[in-house]
Chain A
């Protein structure tokens, strides 16, 4: 599995496989929660199945749901009109979308445990572990 840092570097490179990078971002989130990233697909996309898995029990993770769906949408546009100017525009938008997903997930991994943010549901004041 690629690290988030490696994904960020690859995003800057020429012609990266953007859909695979987006999947890798979500794999990081799921693995960090101690689960095995699914190989299943939803609506033809593993990315959407990974998002569903990543959001299980964490409602605030749905804040990146539409980003994932937009990635799938623009992927379809690129595939449909491969080589056209419209496909290039869609590919450009995919770069922004994958970058946003990466920033959202890496930010979320950092703040997880600090408390609520936006529509999150994790309580801020958890009981501190008792010293042994």
Chain B
């Protein structure tokens, strides 16, 4: 089946987290793209998407910051698609796109700041923002992935954890919930589909979009730890060896609070966390080191060895 050419080469917006705590997500995304023949052009001179901090102070400034990234991709690189692997960045770019399409005052603010900053104003619809999951699902698909698998994940039981920002709020993701082949906001499945194509067994995991408490990890660490512990225990009860993640904030939250749950609450859990790109990379026979598996707090290497995958 021919895949849309627009997903074969996309503008890549890693965002701040992928240069810090999510470094392994960055390296594994690039490695998987290379193994699959999908090309990434990093957005030049990109900036923070506005994350949560700027949004709290001035939501329209966040809209501008996200729009600048899309403007560079569209107007300076000629890109039609921007891929953001971080749920926070993906969410913010989609939100900016929605605001610019529907709110005149957002357009006015973005235009004013863009002129002052000396770059072209981003206009809604100039680019399509996608997540890393969309990129692989639309760019290669399950059948294409199956053909390229050299090290099947057979025997590995996975709980797929999407977090809460990949699908919420629904109105900023108009391409979702469009029937067969599209992503669902209530029961997301793109990660399940890809990992199943790589040979893994997905367990029935009811907390796949539940809150991990990531945003109040500093203001209320205890609640965050309890939320994460509940997610980890549910994954273990569902029979999972590993929780697959697709967001650097969720991933580091799960890892850090797993450690904290043991230290502070005396509650030990053994389920491991790996980015879905690390798991796909393993299936594509990319060396674990190139996928940054050794950078994870959660010891994925031991699990991969136990399953004879590394």
**Which residues does A use to contact B, with CB under 8 Å?**
59, 62-64, 66-67, 69-70, 73-74, 92-93, 96-97, 99-100, 103-104, 106-107, 110-111, 114-119, 123-125
Q: Are B56 and A67 in contact (CB under 8 A)?
A: no
Q: Are A106 and B223 in contact (CB under 8 A)?
A: yes
Q: Are A96 and B233 in contact (CB under 8 A)?
A: yes
The distance in angstroms between the C-alpha atoms of A103 and B265, with both chains bound, is: 15
**Chain B hits for A107, CB < 8 A:** 213, 216, 220, 223-224, 227
Q: Are B52 and A100 in contact (CB under 8 A)?
A: no
Chain A CB within 8 A of B230 CB: yes
Q: Are B223 and A100 in contact (CB under 8 A)?
A: no
Q: Assuming the A-B contacts A100-B230, A116-B55, A117-B52, are A66 and B209 also in contact, with contact meaning beta carbons closer than 8 angstroms in the complex?
A: yes
The distance in angstroms between the C-alpha atoms of A13 and B77, with both chains bound, is: 60
Q: Are B211 and A93 in contact (CB under 8 A)?
A: no
**Chain B hits for A70, CB < 8 A:** 206-207
Chain A CB within 8 A of B234 CB: yes
A67 to chain B, nearest CB (A): 6
The distance in angstroms between the C-alpha atoms of A106 and B52, with both chains bound, is: 21
Q: Are B57 and A124 in contact (CB under 8 A)?
A: yes
The distance in angstroms between the C-alpha atoms of A13 and B91, with both chains bound, is: 40
The distance in angstroms between the C-alpha atoms of A44 and B207, with both chains bound, is: 22
| CB < 8 Å neighbour of B206 from A74, A110, A123 | A74
Say which one of B163-171, B256-264, B281-289 lies at the interface with A: B163-171
The distance in angstroms between the C-alpha atoms of A67 and B168, with both chains bound, is: 13
**Chain A hits for B310, CB < 8 A:** none
The distance in angstroms between the C-alpha atoms of A106 and B223, with both chains bound, is: 8
The distance in angstroms between the C-alpha atoms of A119 and B215, with both chains bound, is: 10
Q: Are B219 and A114 in contact (CB under 8 A)?
A: yes
Q: Are A69 and B207 in contact (CB under 8 A)?
A: no
**Chain A hits for B216, CB < 8 A:** 107, 111, 117
**Chain B hits for A111, CB < 8 A:** 216, 219-220
Q: Assuming the A-B contacts A59-B169, A111-B220, are A66 and B211 also in contact, with contact meaning beta carbons closer than 8 angstroms in the complex?
A: no
**Chain B hits for A93, CB < 8 A:** 204, 206, 234, 237-238
Q: Are B227 and A103 in contact (CB under 8 A)?
A: yes
Q: Are B211 and A118 in contact (CB under 8 A)?
A: yes
**Chain A hits for B226, CB < 8 A:** 103
**What are 29 A-B interface contacts by the 8 Å CB criterion?**
A63-B164, A63-B168, A67-B207, A70-B207, A73-B206, A93-B204, A93-B234, A96-B234, A100-B207, A100-B210, A100-B227, A100-B230, A100-B231, A103-B223, A106-B223, A107-B220, A110-B220, A111-B216, A111-B220, A114-B219, A117-B215, A117-B216, A118-B164, A118-B168, A118-B214, A119-B91, A119-B165, A119-B168, A125-B56
**Chain B hits for A115, CB < 8 A:** 56
The distance in angstroms between the C-alpha atoms of A67 and B211, with both chains bound, is: 9
Interface residues in B165-203 by Cβ distance below 8 A to A read: 165, 168-169, 186
**Chain A hits for B234, CB < 8 A:** 93, 96-97, 100
- Of all chain A residues, which has the CB nearest B170? A62
Q: Assuming the A-B contacts A59-B169, A100-B230, A115-B56, are A69 and B186 also in contact, with contact meaning beta carbons closer than 8 angstroms in the complex?
A: yes
B266 to chain A, nearest CB (A): 16
The distance in angstroms between the C-alpha atoms of A121 and B233, with both chains bound, is: 31
- Of all chain B residues, which has the CB nearest A94? B206
Q: Are A96 and B227 in contact (CB under 8 A)?
A: no
Q: Are B168 and A62 in contact (CB under 8 A)?
A: yes
| CB < 8 Å neighbour of A96 from B56, B168, B209, B237 | B237
